[in-house]
Amino acid sequence: MESLTASYKLNINNQFSEEDLLKGVYVVVIHATRIPPHIGIIADKHYHSLTIKGHEINVPVEVLIRNTNQRKIPSLFIKIKKHPIFSAGYLSEHFISNVKQFPIVDIGIATCLSPIKLFLDEVFNVPMNTINYLYELLPLLESEGLIESASSLFIDEKNYQLPIYSFAEINEGIENAKIDKRKSLLPSPKERE
């Protein structure tokens, strides 16, 4: 049985601003109250992530925020300190190449954290070999001095605790998402008539 780390309290210290997301690099946590949450990166005004459907790349920030607002999805936006050498455009392209190293999120293949680990290890020189969960990643980024600020949408900031989950729960989440994906591909009862 896996041991679970004590709960990590992220300091949500910034008022949400869509305009802020157009500058810099952010770790984005979608469905931040769900077990497991989904993780992606915003860089150079675009959102990128690895999903069960494959590569989700170059999604304009405006589209991500519109979807988040319409569906009232609890989300975190963790701004990473500016890289001393690389531009946001370069970082965006680099992260896209990291996402493309994996075909999809699936059991035994990759999680949404997989390309983020590569990215942070390669670009920010943060050792990721022992990181398997978001609740391990954020304390490490904080200890490395890489978190500049954090903001949120649809989260009770005073009481929010990052969810603690196991690998079994990640695999269960992947299986449930695959089932939902298959159901969405089926014709509706009206279409079958």
61-111, pLDDT tens digit by residue? Answer: 999 999 999 999 999 999 999 999 999 899 999 999 999 999 999 999 999
Residue type at 133 in one-letter notation: Y
For residue range 146-192, list pLDDT tens digits in order. 999 999 999 988 778 888 899 899 999 999 888 887 877 766 556 55
What is the per-residue pLDDT for 7? 67
Indicate whether 130 pLDDT > 70. yes
For residue range 14-50, list pLDDT tens digits in order. 899 999 999 999 999 999 999 999 999 999 999 999 9
- What confidence category does residue 4 fall into, taking pLDDT thresholds of 50, 70 and 90? very low
What is the residue extent of each domain of the chain? 20-192
pTM: 0.89
What is the rounded (10 degree) CA torsion for 181, 185, 189, 191? 160
Rounded to whole angstroms, the Cα distance separating 140 from 120 reads 11
Rounded to whole angstroms, the Cα distance separating 25 from 93 reads 12
